Amino acid sequence: MDRISCLPDEILVSVLSLLGIREAARTCVLSKRWEHLWSFNRVLNFDASQTVLQIESNTEALLGVERCRYINWVNKVVESHCGSTIDEFRVCFCLNSSSSCVIDRWIEFAITKSVQRLEMELEPSVFSEEHAGLPYTITNQSYNILFKSPACLSSIRSLRSLCFSRVNISGEILERLLSDCPLLESLRVRDSEHLVNLKVFGSSLRLKFLDISVCPNLKDLEVCATSLVSFSHFGLGQKMNMQIKDAFQLAKVSISDFVEPIRSVFFSFSSYFSQLETLSLGMEMTRGQKGNSGFRKLPEFTKLKFLTLQVLADQTASILCWTPLIYASPVLHKFKLQVQYLTPLGVEGIRQRKIPNRPHQCLKEVELAGFVGCFIDLEFAHYFIKNAVMLEKITIERHSTRVLLSPRPWMFNETKEKQSAKEQAMQLQKSLPARVKMEII
């Protein structure tokens, strides 16, 4: 007996919503009972990023063919959808202003369906800016049509999570969105050239997660949100004024800038150092930079448990200048160092530096990502072996040719460098205390 088909439609639709759109649609062949159930799917995730990555040639003609296929796919699903509401609508493909009309229709469709999570990730991906074309733009006029029309006016209030990536949108429109969406908890804006000034405030604001990154013209960012839990910012070296106020619940901060020092942005959070639980910092360090300037005297991060440093560096740099931050985090549980190198590796110019003696009583896990077994890797590894008296595990993740932080880092010889990294990790393992386990990935 087919007991599954006897379940109520609501339960079957919930099950289908856990599948991808294509997989859910294939269930229509099971029986007449299942023929139209997939069209009530509440999660519409049109992620075709892997399709883009598999295209070997960055020709406009090939990209145009894939765009047509993608648009037809989304249109067919949208036209076939029979449900009254959807939980998620996600577009993830290399689209631009030439597709503005269809993107407008998709957003309007999602809003009228009282969508809770709306994500428009129109990244150029592996394609050059020339092939990517001009970004899709939301203007004041299109905002009034997409979000403020009679059909959308009440439905927009259901929105809880919003992501615009490579979508040009101004601070004025974002502020209108925040005002019109009282239940919004998550806002992510990346790669918007139109974003210059943004004020995030309001007594009824429920915003918990905020990510404003890769916006080259951003000059002023003012955030006043009592519910804010997580904040992320990836800068592009521009001078900007950032103010964070009344963030009494802020626990997670991620800040990166691989062009300019991140010191000024970092200290804009100084009022909240004592309440942070997770901190991630990304920077570029070379021999001529004084990375420890301004970081020698820090207040205690009394709740910080997870710390990540993402570094672009040449092999002569030393990141031991960041150990005061580790020392100022007495309950730190896990530390991760992620390094990518700007130049090919060598041994010229490297001098042994004295490892400071600063015992740490709580640190149990250390992860070294991008490990190649050169001076920076080993220097930090020996620092933790010497000072982390409760250390239980070191994870060595050997370098990857995947670009994590910037398109500039030198690409390693996969076979030769991985073998060398493994040999260095094995040598390092011999110096570990018996209580410490090492995992090499």
pLDDT tens digits, one per residue of 10-31: 787 788 777 778 777 787 777 7
175 pLDDT higher than 50: yes
291 pLDDT higher than 50: no
Q: How sure is the predictor about 254, in pLDDT bands with cuts at 50, 70 and 90?
A: very high
Region 187-213: what's the mean pLDDT?
93
| Amino acid letter for position 325 | L
Instruction: Please check whether residues 99 and 187 belong to one and the same domain.
Output: yes
Query: In terms of pLDDT, which residue wins out, 334 or 28?
Result: 334
Instruction: Please check whether residues 11 and 152 belong to one and the same domain.
Output: no
Q: How sure is the predictor about 8, in pLDDT bands with cuts at 50, 70 and 90?
A: confident
Instruction: Please check whether residues 161 and 279 belong to one and the same domain.
Output: no
Region 216-244: what's the mean pLDDT?
91
267 pLDDT higher than 90: no
Q: Which residues contact 432 (CB under 8 A, 6 or more apart)?
A: 385, 394, 438
Instruction: Please check whether residues 112 and 242 belong to one and the same domain.
Output: yes
Q: What percent of the chain has pLDDT over 90?
A: 41
Region 233-251: what's the mean pLDDT?
90
CA angle 122, 258, 194 (to 5 degrees): 40
Report the C-alpha gap between 375 and 320 in whole angstroms. Answer: 11
Region 111-117: what's the mean pLDDT?
94
Q: Domain with 174 in it: what CATH number?
A: 3.80.10
Look at residues 250, 273, 288 and tell me which one is the last residue of a structural domain. Answer: 250
334 pLDDT higher than 60: yes
Q: How sure is the predictor about 54, in pLDDT bands with cuts at 50, 70 and 90?
A: low
Query: In terms of pLDDT, which residue wins out, 209 or 415?
Result: 209
Q: How sure is the predictor about 124, in pLDDT bands with cuts at 50, 70 and 90?
A: low
Look at residues 194, 225, 250 and tell me which one is the last residue of a structural domain. Answer: 250
236 pLDDT higher than 90: no
Determine if residue 290 is left, alpha or beta; phi over 0 gives left, psi from -120 to 50 gives alpha, anything else beta: beta
Instruction: Please check whether residues 206 and 291 belong to one and the same domain.
Output: no
Report the C-alpha gap between 430 and 189 in whole angstroms. Answer: 46
What is the per-residue pLDDT for 265?
77
Report the C-alpha gap between 93 and 367 in whole angstroms. Answer: 32
Report the C-alpha gap between 146 and 321 in whole angstroms. Answer: 50
**Among 122-126, 207-211, 292-296, 378-382, whose mean pLDDT is lowest?**
292-296
Element (H, E) at 422: helix 414-429
Instruction: Please check whether residues 113 and 176 belong to one and the same domain.
Output: yes
Instruction: Please check whether residues 215 and 330 belong to one and the same domain.
Output: no
What's the number of CA atoms in the CB half-sphere (13 Å) around residue 9?
Answer: 12
Arithmetic mean of pLDDT over the chain:
82
Instruction: Please check whether residues 265 and 279 belong to one and the same domain.
Output: yes
> Angle of helix 414-429 relative to helix 375-387, nearest 10 degrees?
20
223 pLDDT higher than 80: yes
Q: Alpha helices, DSSP H only, in 362-413?
A: 375-387
Instruction: Please check whether residues 185 and 286 belong to one and the same domain.
Output: no
Q: Which residues contact 354 (CB under 8 A, 6 or more apart)?
A: none
Three-state SS at 83: coil
Total domains present in the chain: 3
Domain residues for 296? 253-441
Query: In terms of pLDDT, which residue wins out, 257 or 127?
Result: 257
Three-state SS at 157: helix
Region 243-272: what's the mean pLDDT?
85
Instruction: Please check whether residues 266 and 409 belong to one and the same domain.
Output: yes
| C-alpha distances out from residue 99 to 69, 71, 96, 102, Å | 13, 9, 6, 6
| Amino acid letter for position 205 | L
Instruction: Please check whether residues 174 and 274 belong to one and the same domain.
Output: no
Region 90-118: what's the mean pLDDT?
93
What is the per-residue pLDDT for 59?
61
What is the per-residue pLDDT for 402?
39
What is the per-residue pLDDT for 411?
45
What is the per-residue pLDDT for 406?
42
What's the number of CA atoms in the CB half-sphere (13 Å) around residue 236?
Answer: 12
**pTM, entire model:** 0.85
What is the per-residue pLDDT for 405?
42
What is the per-residue pLDDT for 94?
87
Instruction: Please check whether residues 282 and 237 belong to one and the same domain.
Output: no
Region 360-366: what's the mean pLDDT?
93
Question: What's the first-to-final CA gap in the chain, in angstroms?
Answer: 47
351 pLDDT higher than 60: no
